[in-house]
Amino acid sequence: MSQYLQGLNESQLKAVLHKDGPIMIIAGAGSGKTKVLTTRIIHLMAAHDVDAFNILALTFTNKAAAEMKERVAHILGNNARNLYIGTFHSVFARVLRAEAPKLGYPSDFTIYDADDTKSVIKTVLKELNLDDKVYKPNTVYKRISDAKNSLVGPAEYAMDKFLVQEDARANRPAMAEIYDAYTRRCFKNGAMDFDDLLFKMYILLTNFPESLSKYQQKFRYILIDEYQDTNPAQYEVIKLLGAMHENVCVVGDDAQSIYSFRGATIQNILQFQKDYDDVEVVKLEQNYRSTKTILSVANEVIANNRDQIPKTLFTDNTQGEKIRLIRTMTDNDEGRIVADTIQEFRLREHFQNGDFAILYRTNAQSRSFEEALRRMGIPYRIYGGLSFYQRKEVKDFLAYLRITVNPRDEEALKRIVNYPVRGIGKTTQDKAVLLANENNISLWEVLTRAAQFGFRAGTLEAIEGFVNSVKMYQSELSKKNAFDLAMIIGKSSGVVKELFNDKSAEGLARYENVQELLNSIKEFIETPDNLESGEVGDKSLGAYLQQIALLTDADDSKEEENVVRLMTIHAAKGLEFPVVFVGGLEENLFPNAMSINSREELEEERRLFYVAVTRAKHKLILTYANTRYRFGQLQQNDPSRFVDEMPQEHIDRSYAGNSARQPSSSGGWSSGSAFERMQRGFASAPTPPKQSYSVAPARPALKEHVPSENFVASDLRDLQAGQRVEHQKFGFGKIARLEGASHNPIATIDFDQNGQKKIMLNYARLRIVD
């Protein structure tokens, strides 16, 4: 038996050795999924002489792709180079780059990220004279994105009775029109958004049979990671590509499907067996990652879900210790106790910083952990949030590069036409945009022909100066590599100088970020071959821009850093850590308040919890806070229902007070482990009482109110103006009026002691007095 096959268990081996025909691998958490995928690729090449050029492996994250590639390269060396391994988005972008003219796009089409997309939506809304309070860019984006991910174009959308009716009911009848205008605008700009990369790939394959057959022949063996997270667009493309050889291998775990909000449908994996005849199904049920305790907690919680493929995960690992459940008074205490526990484990059990991960439901939760770690001098790194490439200064600089490569890119143009300030202000810009629309030409063309359009002499001079310098950059495009050209642009545009002259701390950071960006371009041109595709050497600026558009900050991997990692649970999928903290286990936060209205949504939250738990190898610590600041307001939450769903014999509650649920206002704090005393110390530390309203100097100080003995939050659905209520902090008051959307009602309350305040009823806890 070949060496690379050794150490595989029976099912793993079965999955690897299966050569032709469709196969579905149901891979439980920690069951060696990546190992199976990579070994399968190695086996295809080593034992069956399959050409690397004929293998396509698709993942959801760059990180997963890089890991796979690396593992294959480890065994096969240079042969691995020609494999097509990448994310759906990056592989499709590469294909589309080659085929763009067929679809009427320039090869150097721009890829719009979420910010660009929203910005285009705002532009379109303005031009259609629509109120962006009714048509919130986020809502519109979601709607369009959902449509594209279901392969519904603007024309189909407008004719889809159900969709149109939905929009009408939501009081957004112009949605179809917006979608159409948005699509046209992107096309005019020579740009595709994230969803287009999937949608246009589908269009390419369906409208151009010769392209379909070309890629069908090329990709004889197809492997899909995380199949449970595919959306209909991805599903259809895979089906098309695999139709000729039917060598489609999908790997997934229905229990880890956590992206339905992005259009993923669990049906794809549940139905796979119906898509092809003779599907081989292999289940990987042995977990190599976690202790018996952790695994049984995960199993027991997920058993509450109705929709799932039956399977039994087991492990030969040790029993391990109980799961620690920690309750704290506030979110800040939660941060401190986690930091403290990390310290404890480091000292007593010799863990390193890099062994710890802190996971949470929402990005906003990172703050308290971050502060606590910083205070204790524990090095950490936050993943997610604003990625490097989304920072303003980086985007500004990139906009120069983008406009050089694709002058039709209006979003980029608007960013930099007056940055650094050169006397082309808002009035001029508005006029130019108007001219572009009236004459049906691009904004760039208006600027290049500015003399014809009667701008003021000074303004005209400014425009011409700008146009000439961009034209100069463009003329260098074919002569210079990405880095040299970027350097020229940085110097000549004045961007670098502008940042250099800003000596404030933020200015310094911005300057460094742009330098960092230049470094990354240098790195790009110096990398010997393009790891993404295996195709050698497109070092142009256009290639660089398309690559980074799909990068997130989780991808710039300084993996070896020995630091504590903070990230959302979504971002942690596919990763494992010796010690895992999961924070904010509270109702309304996790499960999130947005997701408790239907069984499907709640089950997805539960799967998310399952993902969180199964990241841990040795130790798992769950925390929740009695009160936490959210949205400026102090909120009280009950412990998460998931806490109750865990097998209690595996839980160490000695850090959680005595009562499981509904901690009463006085009870639960009197017993005393050393740790608990310490915790109480934190809770009652002499920090000044927090203000739950903004601290405007003119406003009178809050007259603190002591809640009544019998304070119980009332059901506020039938709240009426004129009723008297009690608020825990602001005291007694009278409802002056009710306003806001029905799903987010806002009450204006005249408080006896604290004046008038606006309170969001979704969050507030009010007792109706009479």
Partner DNA sequence: TCATAGCTACTTTTT
Partner DNA sequence: GTAGCTATGA
State how far the alpha carbon of 147 is from the alpha carbons of 123, 175, 204, 440, in Å: 20, 11, 18, 27
- Which structure tokens are listed for 651? 């839980």
| Smaller CB separation from DNA, 111 or 486 | 111
Q: Which stretch binds DNA (CB under 7 A): 209-217, 501-509, 578-586, 625-633?
A: 625-633
CB 517 within 8 A of CB 482: no
Nearer to DNA, 717 or 743 (CB): 743
**Segment interacting with DNA, rule: CB under 7 A, options 50-58, 173-181, 417-425, 710-718:** 417-425
Does position 588 interact with DNA (CB under 7 A)? The reply is: no
By CB under 7 A, tell whether 629 contacts DNA.
Answer: yes
Distance CA 216, CA 210 (A): 10
The nearer residue to DNA, 17 or 421, going by C-beta atoms, is 421
* Segment 240 to 269, residues that bind DNA, using CB under 7 A: 258, 261-262
- Considering only 17, 281, 376, 421, the residue that binds DNA (CB under 7 A) is 421
Q: Is 615 tagged catalytic?
A: yes
Q: Read off the DSSP letter of residue 681.
A: H
Rounded CA-CA distance 434/453 in Å is 11
The 10 Å Cβ neighbour count of residue 170 is 12
Among 167, 226, 253, 676, the active-site one is 226
According to CB under 7 A, which residues from 56 to 85 bind DNA?
A: 60-62
Which of 39, 228, 256, 330 is catalytic? The answer is: 256
**Residue numbers 110-169 binding DNA by CB under 7 A:** 113-114, 122, 133, 136, 138
Contact residue for DNA among 364, 477, 487, 563 (CB under 7 A): 364
Helix, strand, coil distribution of the chain in percent, nearest 5: 50, 15, 35
762 binds DNA per the rule CB under 7 A: no
Which segment (21-29, 100-108, 531-539, 587-595) binds DNA by CB under 7 A?
Answer: 587-595
Instruction: Report how far apart, in Å, the C-alpha atoms of 668 and of each of 487, 647, 663 are.
Output: 63, 21, 7
Concerning whether 183 is annotated as a catalytic residue, the answer is: no
Q: What SS3 class is residue 569?
A: helix
For the segment 5-34, give every residue that binds DNA (CB under 7 A). Answer: none
For DNA, which stretch binds (CB under 7 A), given 44-52, 155-163, 562-570, 715-723?
Answer: 562-570
Place of tokens 């599907």: 279
Nearest distance, CB of residue 328 and DNA, angstroms: 17
**x-marked contacts with DNA along 692-711 as a string, rule CB under 7 A:** --x-x---------------
Radius of gyration of the chain (CA): 28
| Nearest CB to DNA, comparing residues 346 and 570 | 570
- DSSP for 294-363? HHHHHHHHHTT-SS------B--S---PPEEEEEEEEHHHHHHHHHHHHHHHHHHH---GGGEEEEESSG
Active site residue 226: yes
- Give the distance, in angstroms, between the CA of residue 642 and the centroid of all CA atoms in the same chain: 23
* Residue with the two structure tokens 């990625």: 387
Q: Does 648 bind DNA (CB under 7 A)?
A: no
In 3D, which of 139, 134, 233 has the Cα closest to residue 179?
Answer: 139
Region of 721 on the Ramachandran plot (φ > 0 left; ψ -120 to 50 alpha; else beta): beta
Looking at beta carbons only, is 666 or 694 nearer to DNA?
694
Q: Is 214 tagged catalytic? A: no
Q: Answer yes or no: are the C-beta atoms of 13 and 4 closer than 8 Å.
A: no
Q: By rule CB under 7 A, what count of residues binds DNA? A: 50
Q: Tell me if residue 567 falls in helix, strand or coil.
A: strand
Eight-state DSSP code of residue 650: G
Q: Is 568 among the residues that bind DNA (CB under 7 A)?
A: yes
Confirm or reject binding of residue 592 to DNA (CB under 7 A).
Answer: yes
| Two tokens, residue 427 | 């009035």
- Which of residues 350, 426, 558, 717 is near DNA by CB under 7 A? 426
For DNA, which is the closer residue by CB, 395 or 767? Answer: 395
Please name which of 643, 74, 583 lies closest in space to residue 333, comparing C-alpha atoms: 583
Which one, 368 or 442, has the nearer CB to DNA? Answer: 368
In terms of Cα–Cα distance, which of 187, 108, 145 is closest to 410?
A: 187
Segment (H or E) for 250: strand 248-252
Q: Which residue in 225, 333, 409, 676 is the catalytic one?
A: 225
Q: Does 194 bind DNA (CB under 7 A)?
A: yes
33 is an active site residue:
yes
Which CB, 506 or 770, lies closer to DNA? 506
Residues catalogued as catalytic: 33-34, 225-226, 256, 615
Contacts with DNA, residue ranges (CB under 7 A): 60-62, 87-90, 113-114, 122, 133, 136, 138, 194, 258, 261-262, 361-364, 367, 384, 418, 421, 423-428, 459, 550, 552, 554, 567-568, 570-571, 592-595, 629-632, 690, 694, 696
